[in-house]
Structure 1
Amino acid sequence: MTAGEPDLVGPEILDGHLYDYPAYYDLVFGSDCAAETAFFEDCFRQLARRPVERIFEPACGTGRLLYRLSRRGYSVSGNDLNPHAVAYCNARFERAGWDPPAVLGDMADFRLRRKVDAAFNTINSFRHLDNENAARSHLGCVAAALARGGLYLLGLHLTPTRGPRDMGESWTARRGHLGIVSNLQSISIDRRRRVEKFAMSFDVYTPTRHRRIEGILEYRTYTLEQIRRSVESVPSLEWIETFDFAYDISRPVVVGNLTEDVVLVLRKR
């Protein structure tokens, strides 16, 4: 069975979240790996004030980017709360003959034994932190982990305060006989409580099966002013540049009340 074919029986519903199925997660979010990695290296060369050799990813998931960066010669590490993702990440590294880089850990409460030259988190994981204390704790942990002149690349969707907002997206990913149709749609937003709810579904197709993962996802919302206050709460981090999800270092963006997709470049003072 392939994506788009009629399903007369209906999909098999899988329990849990996409994060519990790391092979599917890796495919869903893996299409931008090459562009992201190239963008990271452009930032390291042009915006860091120190050579970048050691890199950390909080909420690293399956380690798809850590793996690519390791192949390019960087020393990498990460943490994540999901044991399935951590195991998948480490198994991938071990198959390549490398030490496992990921540990179970909270992106809002961690401490590294050695400082790193750069850190990144670019697919909205920051918005899983559901209160300001957790967000500031995360930024503080990253700041403490960075060496002076090092970078933190933080990607998230902002909530515009003017004009329409993006209500969601759908995309398809394929690898061999496995195809996944992803759908993420905003169903409500509470600006006072700063909570946006999304209906999410991932339809997984193989030649013989149709399976589905579905559920409700909650993200904390950030306007431009709100994310600015969060960053300014950690004085050792300086917001030096902003890009969008095109990952083009030659095209920085000016963030305004209409802006949604951003990658903040924060540098350790």
Structure 2
Amino acid sequence: MITQRGLRPEDRPLIASLLASVPAFSDEERAVALELVDVQLAQPSADGYRFVLSVCGEASPALAGYLCYGRTPMTRSTYDLYWIATSPEFARLDVARGLVSTMEREIAREGGGLVRVETGSRERHGAVRFYDALQFTRAAVIPDFYEPGDDLLIFTKRVGALRASAAPPEASRAAPAPPESPAPADAPALYDAAFGYRDYVAERDFLLACARRFGARPVQRVLSWACGPARHLEAFAELGVGCAGADGSAAMIAYAERTAAARGAGAGIRFSCAELDERPDVPPVDLSFVSLSAIHQLATPAALERHLRLAASLLLPGGVHVIEATHPADLTPSGVNRTEWTELRGDQSIDARFRIHIERAAPDRVVPVSLEVVCSARRNGGAPRELSSIRQESTWHIPDLAGWRRVAERVPELALVATLGDFNVDVPFEHAAAWRLILVLKRL
């Protein structure tokens, strides 16, 4: 399990060893990186350099990666990302993305600001692709800055003020407004609170970008399969888009109707109780989607095919169907197959643990997964008191890309037009920074 913490004196040799393990760093670069460590250790109360370390293990900790950033002198709310390095041993654990996410969250807690990072144009570190994938903007270029052919690239990213707290390290976007506090035994509200870190507005905009880039019709009506609390639909309703939501849980549908109405979005959303392989009672749409790996509840290729046929039947010609799936590598020991995070809601703490039990995976890529969400009342100096919880285990089918292509080929009404690796239409699945598998299918 990887945890994050600040810099300690005993971390210097760990950082030196990590830097030595990365062949792309020169001796001069390693010396500069360690100089920043020494400056901070000499004056731990100073605010010039801030460190975030990702550490694996407790008894004999291994340093998976670290990041150094700080406020830019003589600016009101600008920050410099000075250094980021990850161990090659943890390459598939998305350590670098988690470090940047933590930095952004800390900046958001301080009111937000502009992040600036400088890097060379040559791909010896993979930095250019990494910052592109994290939706940094290329703000400036100074040709031949480092040497002929190696330009200085200046990337920037605007970080908004935090409106909710404590998203998990894998989430690289600011959290939305908090949902209502969960009540004991209210599983839909607890689920909503646990996944409140999702940036539904940003994901809505990504879905619209998929429709523009890969589809052939304007989006006037959308359908969210396995819609859960319907937060994506609320974001679409803000734009005046007609919305429909389908979910197999009647309790979740009732919760979504209640909360959407409370925020003034209920009139624009039509709900239907239907599983992913059942036809919902909704009119045809221009855009449909399945988010948060819910598609893996369909545990056989035949069930996936049924879902795609239903999606095709509800899409108008030129419309697109977007599936946010788990990265196939997460079914391997080097993948991200367990995650823990905490959401804070006033005097309540929502602790969540998700795990893909890869040790029990079947050859056909069917694997048990477990989710535990516990809402507790926090007490100063005392043990927390559990208020409500979700503890469930289910079976997922996580195809590789070839498996997805085989299923899609059996549905001639749909064409698989894009496979993406992030919530960014410019990041293909083959990208080095890919951490999801997002499939875009077009209705012919």
Q: Do these two structures clear the TM 0.5 threshold for a shared fold by scoring above it?
A: yes
1:36 to 185, 191, 203: 203
Contact residue 339 and residue 354 of structure 2 kept, 8 A: yes
Contact residue 328 and residue 437 of structure 2 kept, 8 A: no
> Cα deviation per residue 1:3-42 (whole Å; 9 max; x = unaligned)?
9xxxxxxxxxx88xxxx61111112223222321221122
CA–CA distance in structure 1, aligned partners of residues 409 and 435 of structure 2: 20
> Cα deviation per residue 1:172-204 (whole Å; 9 max; x = unaligned)?
223333331211122234332432112322121
After superposition, the Cα gap between the structure-2 partners of 1:263 and 1:51, relative to the gap in structure 1 and judged at 3 Å, is same
Residue equivalent to 1:11:
none
- For structure 1, which segment, 83-92 or 100-109, has the greater mean C-alpha deviation from structure 2 after superposition? 100-109
Residue equivalent to 1:239:
416
* Amino acid of the structure 1 residue aligned with 2:346: G
> Cα deviation per residue 1:103-135 (whole Å; 9 max; x = unaligned)?
211221205553100001121111101222211
Unaligned runs of 5+ in 1: 4-13
After superposition, the Cα gap between the structure-2 partners of 1:196 and 1:113, relative to the gap in structure 1 and judged at 3 Å, is closer
After superposition, the Cα gap between the structure-2 partners of 1:139 and 1:99, relative to the gap in structure 1 and judged at 3 Å, is same
1:117 to 276, 286, 292: 286
* 1:205 and 2:376 matched: yes
Contact residue 427 and residue 434 of structure 2 kept, 8 A: no
Unaligned runs of 5+ in 2: 1-165, 167-183, 380-384
Contact residue 421 and residue 434 of structure 2 kept, 8 A: no
Contact residue 93 and residue 99 of structure 1 kept, 8 A: no
CA–CA distance in structure 1, aligned partners of residues 252 and 270 of structure 2: 12
* 1:250 and 2:426 matched: yes
Residue equivalent to 2:439:
264
Residue 234 of structure 1, CA deviation? 0.7
Contact residue 277 and residue 310 of structure 2 kept, 8 A: yes
Contact residue 189 and residue 197 of structure 1 kept, 8 A: yes
Residue equivalent to 1:171:
341
CA RMSD of aligned residues (A): 2.6
After superposition, the Cα gap between the structure-2 partners of 1:99 and 1:39, relative to the gap in structure 1 and judged at 3 Å, is closer
CA–CA distance in structure 1, aligned partners of residues 327 and 215 of structure 2: 25
Contact residue 421 and residue 431 of structure 2 kept, 8 A: no
Residue 100 of structure 1, CA deviation? 5.0
Aligned residues: 251
The sequence identity of aligned pairs, in percent, is 24
CA–CA distance in structure 1, aligned partners of residues 319 and 243 of structure 2: 14
CA–CA distance in structure 2, aligned partners of residues 249 and 259 of structure 1: 12
After superposition, the Cα gap between the structure-2 partners of 1:183 and 1:109, relative to the gap in structure 1 and judged at 3 Å, is same
Residue 251 of structure 1, CA deviation? 2.3
CA–CA distance in structure 1, aligned partners of residues 344 and 400 of structure 2: 34
Q: TM-score, normalised by structure 2?
A: 0.52
Residue 243 of structure 1, CA deviation? 2.0
1:221 to 369, 385, 398: 398
* Amino acid of the structure 1 residue aligned with 2:215: A
Contact residue 54 and residue 74 of structure 1 kept, 8 A: yes
- For structure 1, which segment, 175-184 or 154-163, has the greater mean C-alpha deviation from structure 2 after superposition? 154-163
1:104 to 258, 270, 273: 273
Residue equivalent to 1:24:
190
* Amino acid of the structure 1 residue aligned with 2:236: L
* Amino acid of the structure 1 residue aligned with 2:216: R
Contact residue 119 and residue 142 of structure 1 kept, 8 A: yes
* Amino acid of the structure 2 residue aligned with 1:249: V
Contact residue 111 and residue 145 of structure 1 kept, 8 A: no
Contact residue 419 and residue 439 of structure 2 kept, 8 A: yes
- For structure 1, which segment, 154-163 or 54-63, has the greater mean C-alpha deviation from structure 2 after superposition? 154-163
CA–CA distance in structure 1, aligned partners of residues 188 and 321 of structure 2: 25
| Secondary structure, aligned partner of 1:179 | strand
Q: Compare CA radii of gyration and give the structure with the larger one.
A: 2
CA–CA distance in structure 2, aligned partners of residues 244 and 54 of structure 1: 25
Residue equivalent to 2:11:
none
* Amino acid of the structure 2 residue aligned with 1:41: L
* Amino acid of the structure 1 residue aligned with 2:303: A
* Amino acid of the structure 2 residue aligned with 1:176: G
Runs in 1 of length 4+ with deviation above 6 angstroms?
A: none
| Secondary structure, aligned partner of 1:35 | helix
CA–CA distance in structure 2, aligned partners of residues 235 and 140 of structure 1: 9
Q: TM-score, normalised by structure 1?
A: 0.83
| Secondary structure, aligned partner of 2:210 | helix
- For structure 1, which segment, 46-55 or 111-120, has the greater mean C-alpha deviation from structure 2 after superposition? 111-120
CA–CA distance in structure 1, aligned partners of residues 426 and 365 of structure 2: 33
CA–CA distance in structure 1, aligned partners of residues 337 and 430 of structure 2: 22
